[in-house]
Amino acid sequence: MEATKPVDEAEAANGSNGAGGAALSVRDLVKTFEVGGGWLGGEKGEVSAVAGVSFDIGFGRTLGLVGESGCGKSTTARCILRLIEPTAGEVVLQRPIDDDATERIDIIASSRAEVRRLRRDMQIVFQDPFASLNPRMTVGQALREPLKVHTSMPRAEQDERVGELLRLVGLNPRIVDRYPHEFSGGQRQRIGVARALAFDPGFLVLDEPVSALDVSIQAQVLNLLDDLQQELGLTYLFIAHDLAVVRHVCDDIAVMYLGKIVERTSVERLFAESMHPYTHALLSAVPVPDPELERGRLRILLEGDVPSPLNPPPGCRFHTRCHVGRDQEVCRTTEPPLDEVSDGHWVACHFPEARQVV
């Protein structure tokens, strides 16, 4: 197919293929939804859920996508996987062919049949482990289902693979005849991870995989995901709103606000040298275990609500809640580009130097 071609790894590392050697490369991704009209009438409009998002994820690395609820994180992930159809943009997935080359696949340009085949290489682990499992299917049936749909594997091999998957996520293969309601939340999420790994995919979307779990269980699941990444060489897109979790599991981080990425860099640099005012506010809400340090920190409280995506403000989308932008004409009239202000640190702000200490 035209959208698929071998790419030399050396060329990929130099960016000559447009993907920069990344396992996943997203460029100018856009998703709009039509609202209004219909049999209830009303004026039609468009909601810009994702408005020109771009980022790369290197092989074997984890990118954390963070922001408030409704900022477009999950919509971005579903567009990447073609679970919903994007309005515009480019998403390139690269998978190794052998030791010297990779296969470059434009997911957006691929047909539905080609995307169906790509399900073997990219999967998702959903937020709610109970809702993502069919309550009428046993664990064995749930894990065999993708093997039946996508392969001609005989039943004996399917059963063997199911046992391997359960052992891989730390569960006893003898649970195959039990139903989802018979497990704890952490066990159900392990089953969801096992299902996602059925075909040895190279890329996983983790859509808030621990937010529905007890705090005592979250660390176990996060450690499992880290172990699987090290063992299988997986690449993760980790969606979260908890920056403490992101700091623990991610290599790089992208901060979203109202459908756009406003800051992108390594996790270490973001926590040490954040530049966007919205990132400052998010970091100020992360609790610190030292009571003395916690008492001395500046808590930034954002004023007002997140603007409606039906009618985003002109200029910088954050200026209506920004301590700097609300008083600056350029912030109210001109949208700041996502520029690389230092090596590997991208910020969409007219005044990134106006940093608050948090």
Selection from 258, 313, 343 nearest residue 70 by Cα? 258
CA distance 162 to 346: 43
More confident call, 241 vs 290:
241
Q: 19 pLDDT exceeds 90?
A: no
Question: Which two structure tokens, joined as six digits, stand for 188?
Answer: 């159900």
Residues 84-123: tens digit of each pLDDT: 999 999 999 998 777 677 888 999 999 999 998 888 899 9
Provide the pLDDT for residue 33.
Answer: 92
Q: Is 207 exposed, middle or buried (0-12, 13-18, 19+ CB in 10 A)?
A: buried
Exposure b/e, 136-157, CB count within 10 A at least 16 = b: eebbbebbbebbeeeeeeeeee
Quote the CA–CA distance of 332 and 312 in Å, as a whole number: 12
Residue 17 pLDDT class (50, 70, 90 cuts)? very low
pLDDT at 69 exceeding the cut of 90: no
d(CA 158, CA 151): 10
pLDDT tens-digit map of 301-354: 787 778 888 888 999 999 998 888 888 899 999 999 999 998 999 999 998 876
d(CA 256, CA 68): 8
User: Residue 269 and residue 346: Cα distance in Å, rounded?
Assistant: 11
Q: In the predicted model, is pLDDT for residue 357 greater than 80?
A: no
Q: Can you name the residues that pair with 33 across neighbouring β-strands?
A: 47
| pLDDT 10s digits, 146-197 | 898 888 889 999 999 999 999 999 999 999 999 999 999 999 999 999 999 9
The answer to whether the beta carbons of residues 175 and 139 sit under 8 Å apart is: yes
Give one DSSP letter per residue of 121-177, joined into a string: TEEEE-S-TTTTS-TTS-HHHHHHHHHHHH----HHHHHHHHHHHHHHTT--GGGGG
Q: What percent of the chain has pLDDT over 70?
A: 89
Q: 25-34, pLDDT tens digit by residue? A: 999 999 999 8
User: What pTM was estimated for this model as a whole?
Assistant: 0.87
71 or 303, greater pLDDT:
71
What's the average model confidence in pLDDT over 211-225? 90
Whether 294 has a pLDDT exceeding 80, the answer reads no
Tell me the chain's radius of gyration from C-alpha atoms.
22
Look at residue 20 and tell me whether its pLDDT is greater than 60: no
Q: What is the pLDDT of residues 117-134, one digit of tens each?
A: 888 899 999 988 888 899
Alpha carbon distances (Å) from 25 to 184, 203, 260, 307: 36, 12, 16, 29
Mapping DSSP to helix (H, G, I), strand (E, B) and coil, where does residue 326 land? helix
How far is 21 from 348, CA to CA, in rounded Å?
Answer: 24
